[in-house]
Amino acid sequence: MNTTVDRFLQYLRLERNLSPRTVDRYRRDLQQWIGHETRGKADIDLASVTSNDIREWLIERASCGDKPATLRVRLQALRALYRYLLRIGLVDVNPAALVELAKLPKPLPTMVRETTVNAILDADIDSDDFTQVRDRLIVMLFYETGIRLSELIGLQDTAVDTAKRELKVHGKRDKDRIVPFGAELQSCIEHYRTLRAGVRPVCDNLLVTDKGRPLYPSLVYHVVHGGLAAAGGTGKLSPHVLRHTFASVMLNNGAELNSVKELLGHESLAATQVYTHVTLSELQHNYELAHPRALKKGG
């Protein structure tokens, strides 16, 4: 290993106080890079390395099977090394900073079928049982308003106006938004409130436990996961999946992208646009299932 690189690793360990595991990862990546750069040479000239040299190494690593995430880590090790060399005055430019990080594929949001949610909302329950009515309301709120888990737990009773059919959500970055809802949810909230009166809540939240206290994340997760699993849902079954499903359903049924953005409380339209990919993916899937010639191979 190059002595300057050794000093860099010592700097990471002693001055930056990075974990031994992180430093060891830097060491392995830099050793591999130096091995690539010094083929046929006695040692590496750190100051003469160019951005193209680094790109060639990354291309070689990709051809050997390195995934984008691994390539990003390798490049970040080089960027950190050259930041250190700039700091101590051994180089005048950071060639690794001029190389773009490999882009990671963005996974599409997970969702559940409308039929799965409908199976929960249309199932027979004891309408006089507080817990059963509350649990259905939890699923309905996620599915029909798209609110986040934290927003549902913190939803104040006074923030839900059934006469106007709207609720005021206190979201991320202390921003409030108004979310409308329909007659079915209105009826469910009003019925829930009549049953909740017998529980005697000790807080101002809309949704409470059977002891009248605020809900907590694990309870809500259990309600959603259990309900979706019982209705035939598979894979990831969480409150956030219902939020994804809400967004997809809205777009599939003609809602404008900007309107869905406002309902979800997204800061930018880019965060909402991912659901258009889900919608197109779903459309393609349905087309292939429905059209008799969709999967016919060309001759």
CA distances from 12 to 24, 92, 94, 229 (A): 10, 21, 18, 47
**Cβ atoms 166, 210 nearer than 8 A:** no
- Rounded Cα distance between 189 and 170, Å, is 19
Could you tell me the two tokens for 125?
Answer: 């329950």
Query: Could you give the residue numbers annotated as active site?
Result: 148, 172, 240, 243, 266, 275
Residues contacting 59, CB < 8 A, separation 6+: none
First to last CA, the chain: 59
